[in-house]
Structure 1
Amino acid sequence: MRIEKIFFLCDAPEFAQLRLQDPSTTTMEGLIAFNKHLLFVMTIIVVLVGWLLFATISNYDEFNTQKSQSFFHSNALEIVWTSLPALTLLNLASPSFTLLYSMDEISTPEISVKIIGHQWYWSYEISDFDTMATCMDSDKTLKYTCYLLTEESISQKNYLGFFRLLETNKRVLLPSNTHLRLLVTSVDVLHSWAIPSFGVKVDACPGRLNQVNVFLKRIGMFFGQCSEICGVNHGFMPIALLVVPSIQYHYFVVSKLF
């Protein structure tokens, strides 16, 4: 059985989707956890401020002529309304900085993936197969050129069940449980390579390499799109990745390059 036919669809946008996609990296797990923490704190603040506004409107309207109590000075009150917002911001900043640090952390990659943005498609060069050094020439490189799969092609029998505007003519194969280094650049204008399930969004700038490390924790199909307006066909630059077990990827690379 061809390895390209073995996939498990697990991460794709849904109609009227409100939740985040399932995480496939530690980075995305951290982003989801921080999002939940942020929403919890925001809910408390909204309820507190809403209650204060409601109490003020209810007790002091145009028909209530009773003189309100006057405050000229209160050290305790000043300490509370200064320290409470500061502690709240600290509570939000601490996990945020931790997450930012972990996203920039560089580990020793086993495979390097060079991602090149074009108007309006993506190309990939995969090299540095350190884990396969005993059976491969280090100069060997896998190359993909991935264009949008048109609706006419999807309607054909071989592509039934594929996603409109998300599928490409080739699916980039990557191994799971492997440290990957993504090097992103562009040959013409600004692009942005983004995969929601990875928690990754990397700008593709002409003449510059941007780097990010990912560790894919599970197999499946993962989709993304260009996230930087780059011209008339900006909305037609999909990303389709197929993540398979490492041993399966090993066999695929050997069969392709030898």
Structure 2
Amino acid sequence: MRKFFAGAGALTAFFSTAAAYADQPHPWQWRFQEAATPIMAQIEWFEKYTLWFIVPITLLVLALLAYCIVKFRASANPVPSRTSHNTMIEVIWTVGPVVVLLAIAVPSFQLLTAQYNPPEEPTLTIKATGNQWNWDYEYQIEAPLSFNSAMLQEGDRAATGKEDVARYPRLLAVDNEVVVPVNTITRVLVTASDVIHAFAMPAFGVKVDAVPGRINETWFKAEKEGLYYGQCSELCGKDHAFMPIAIRVVSEEQYNSWLTAAKTDLPGANKALMAAIEGDESVAVAGN
């Protein structure tokens, strides 16, 4: 029993620690990651909204099946009914589904429209190109910045300063994260160089196919600073499971400092940004 409580405490500590670093998948997770963008918040609302239809309909169908099984079983109903028409039943099972579908369709179309139409012109545009099995990113700014992002190898943790497994999980951490400023509308142009991939960031409500020879467009506005993880979500070969995506959301000042340094020294810029963020967190913890 003592070992059980110790294990439960360790798991709780893991969750609380991971939560401090924005969001990422957790063991035995069955709900969405915490929303970090307005679109993901709408997706969460829509999921809860549809449950008000799904659950009653499922229970109703289950009750009707049980009723029919008991009421019209052969022993209790040796002479089956020959009723072929019932106007009231026809009206109910025609009008009812139409009303339910309309109630679901209207907000779903509104959500779909919002996903493809940012409220204002994006401030930052990043091109993401999927490769087997890593990502190329290009910041489409006046002096473009390009780099490759691949899964962090366990032997490289010390060299990159990413030894904290809670912050940089195995199979999700990358060598070079995408860095974006908080509360900024970011356009992502998604394509692929070889086979079909998919750019997915659950906390942002983003999932778009990366198709060779075609550019798909999506956007997000991250409202919470932190490090977020996603993965390629289209089967793309033997290392499909080892193609993570990491986006670090920082303040405007931190982003500008990182961008200036990254143009000449990307590893150094990443380490400086990590030191600034972890230093801020240490000060905040000490202040509490």
Is the contact between residue 179 and residue 215 of structure 1 (CA under 8 Å) also seen in structure 2? Answer: yes
Alpha carbons of structure 1 residues 67 and 231: separation in structure 2 relative to 1, 3 Å: closer
* 1:145 matched residue in structure 2: 148
CA-CA distance at 1:200 after TM superposition: 0.8
Correspondence 1:124-203 to 2 at 5 A: 124-128=137-141, 138=142, 140-154=143-157, 158-161=162-165, 162-203=168-209
CA contact (8 A) 2:71 2:77 kept: no
**Aligned positions of 1:196-235 closer than 5 A:** 196-235=202-241
Identify the match of residue 110 of structure 1 among 118, 123, 134. 123
Report the residue type matching 1:36 in the other structure: K
Report deviation, 1:49.
0.9
- Report whether the alignment pairs 1:56 with 2:64: no
Q: Structure 2: which amino acid aligns with 1:167?
A: A
Mark the CA change 1:158 to 1:83 in structure 2 (over 3 Å): closer, same or farther: closer
Question: How far 1:184 sits from its partner (Å)?
Answer: 1.0
Percent identical pairs in the alignment equals: 35
Higher mean displacement: 111-120 or 55-64: 55-64
**3-state SS in 1 of match to 2:183:** coil
Q: How far apart are the structure 2 equivalents of 1:243 and 1:35?
A: 26
Q: In terms of mean alpha carbon deviation, does 156-165 or 15-24 score higher?
A: 156-165
Do the aligned partners of 2:192 and 2:210 also contact (CA within 8 Å) in 1? yes
- Number of paired residues? 242
Q: For 1:194 and 1:32, locate their aligned partners in 2 and report how far apart those are by CA, in whole Å.
A: 16
Q: Does 1:245 align with 2:257?
A: no
CA gap 1:158/1:38 in 2 versus in 1, 3 angstroms: closer
Question: 1:65 deviation in Å?
Answer: 4.0
Unaligned runs of 5+ in 2: 1-18, 265-288
Out of 33, 44, 48, which is 1:32 matched to? 44
| AA of the residue aligned to 1:31 | I
The farther-off stretch of 203-212 and 10-19 is: 203-212
8 Å CA contact 1:154–1:164 kept in 2: the answer is no
**Deviation sequence 1:124-144 (CA, Å, 0-9, x none):** 11133xxxxxxxxx2x12222
Cα distance change on mapping 1:170 and 1:78 into 2, 3 Å:
same
Higher relative CO (Cα under 8 Å, sequence separation at least 6) belongs to: 1
Residue type of the partner of 1:51?
A
More helix by share: 2
Aligned-pair Cα RMSD in Å: 2.2
- Assess, with a 3 A threshold, how the Cα gap between structure 1 residues 65 and 213 changes in structure 2: closer, same or farther: closer
- TM-score, reference length from structure 1: 0.86
How much does 1:118 deviate? 1.2
1:183-219, CA deviations, whole angstroms, 9 ceiling, x for partnerless residues? 1111222111111111111111222211112111111
* Deviation, structure 1 residue 119: 1.4
SS at match of 1:78: helix
Q: Tell me the SS of whatever aligns to 2:136.
A: strand
Q: State the one-letter code of the partner of 1:152.
A: G
> Which deviates more, 225-234 or 68-77?
68-77
Pairwise mapping of residues 38-117 of structure 1 onto structure 2 (< 5 A)? 38-65=50-77, 71=83, 73-106=85-118, 107-117=120-130
Counterpart of 2:16 in structure 1 is none
Structure 2 contact 23–33 (Cα < 8 Å) conserved:
yes
SS in 2 for 1:113: strand
- Structure number with the higher strand fraction is 1
